[in-house]
Each structure stands twice: as C-alpha cells, then as structure tokens.
Amino acid sequence: MTRSIKILGTGCPKCKTMSNLVHDVVKENSIDATIEKIEDIMEIMTFNVMSTPALVIDDIITIKGRIPSKEEVLELLK
C-alpha cells in the first residue's frame, strides 16, 4: 500500500530540514510513499497543528514542532 506522507511547514529552516530528512528515509529504504509538502497556512490549519514542522502519515499527525531522527521516521513508516 502506498503511504501518504505530508509535511506541514511554512518554509522555515526547520521545515526544510524535516522535508529533506523524510525524502532521504523514503529513498534509502525504498518505501512506497507519496511525499507532499504543504506550505499554505490555511491548509496547515485544517490539520489543527499549532507548531510546525509537522509530519502527517496517512492523515494522522505523528510528529509536530520538532525535527525527528531518521530512525524515528523509519519506525513510523513501518
């Protein structure tokens, strides 16, 4: 099943770090997933998060307000 990954962030350095990290994890482990970066604040607000960057996997908020480690992301995608 293709996983759907969304990264919510308004474009601050932290959000970019998170985005690169997730891309790396998906690539390195050949995970079948779509990655979408959401930068529009109104769209971000529909997810009800208050701190960015946030990582949404299959429409569930998994991480918010901090940059996770690669292992953590991999664990979440398993």
Partner 1 sequence: MFDWIQNIADWLIYGILGMKAKSHLAEALNFFIYDSSKILILLFIVIFFMGIVNSYFPIDKVKNYLSRNKLYGLEYLVASLFGVVTPFCSCSSVPLFIGFVRGGIPLGVTFAFLITSPLVNEVAIGLFVGLFGIKITILYILSGVLLGTISGFILQKLNLEPLLTPWVKEVLANAQREQDKFYKEKQPFIKRLPVIWNEVMNILRGIIPYVIVGIAIGGFMHGYIPEGFFQQYMNKENLFAVPIATVLAVPMYSNASGILPIVQVLVAKGIPLGTAIAFMMGVVGLSLPEAMLLKKVMSLKLIGIFFGVVTLCIILSGYLFNIIL
Residue 4, interface with partner 1 (CB under 8 A)? Answer: no
36 with 23: CB under 8 angstroms?
A: no
Contact status: 1 vs partner 1 (CB under 8 A): no
Q: Report how far apart, in Å, the C-alpha atoms of 74 and of each of 26, 28, 65 are.
A: 8, 10, 18
In angstroms, the CA 68 to CA 59 distance is 18
15 noted as active-site residue: yes
Binding mask 37-76 for partner 1 (x = CB under 8 A): ----xx-xx--xxxxx-------xxx--xxxxx--x----
Binding footprint of partner 1 on the chain (CB under 8 A):
9-12, 14-15, 41-42, 44-45, 48-52, 60-62, 65-69, 72
